Structure 1
Amino acid sequence: MAEEKPKGSARAAQDTGTKQAEDALRQGADQLRNQMGNMADMAGMSAKVSQEMIQRSGQNFEMMKRIAEAMASGARSAASECAEYAKHSAKRQTEMMQQLASARSPNDLLDIQNRYLQDNLKELLSFSERLSRLSADKAREASDRLDQKR
């Protein structure tokens, strides 16, 4: 049996079916291409965002490192001030003990103790002031470093 050629309406139906299939394939390919493009765009944006986050994290880490360095410097300076105060205080106490040992009267003892107490109080207030200024200076330095990074 020989194959019969489609006639009129059958041929038109076959052509219409073929055209619809081609259109569907074209639409599917277009959708796939668009989706792949969107995915590539999203991946590019994601990579850019990730890179930006890494860069900002690095900057934040560097800033925190500098602040920590300033605060550590402040702690070293404060420790040095404390050691100096303790050394000076021990020296004053030794001097007072020598003066008390050479006192000739109860009034001399009271005068020596009174001077020692007043001197210690002045020295403590002076030490406290130096430590407060040092702390404020280091806090200002750390704050300035923060402001420089903005």
Structure 2
Amino acid sequence: MTLVKFANGNNGSALKPWFNDVFDSVFNDSYVADRLTSRIPAVNIAESESDFHIELAVPGLKKEDFKINLDKNILNISAEKKNETTPEGKKYNRREYSYSSFVRSFTLPETADYSKIEAEYVDGILKVNVAKREEAKVLSREISVK
């Protein structure tokens, strides 16, 4: 048995409640919601023996668009891009401006060396490497059994 939810109280044809429910969910959930909400880039965080690696997927930006700050142990990565070109000689009936921004914050562990943070932007990926302190690096040795 399948239950179908209809919006009661709509005047008009018998298809109108079904029509409204289907199209409201399709357009509002995917198209409108994607256009109105801010996009936060996906992130990968990895750890090696000597570094922490943070990678953000941010295609379409330039390295000048990024701002990276360190406040105590919190690493803030933000970007802002505005596209305000106005070609001459064109009359617009409708024009959508291109503007995007985001802020991501990461709490760095105490083992991070705050003076050795490097960032690089290559092929739409912002790579931030945070070195570990010398005393925090994993020392490996073999332990003999007695």
TM-score, structure 1 length as denominator? Answer: 0.22
More strand by share: 2
Larger radius of gyration: 1
TM-score, structure 2 length as denominator? Answer: 0.23
- Which has the bigger relative contact order, CA under 8 A and spacing at least 6? 1
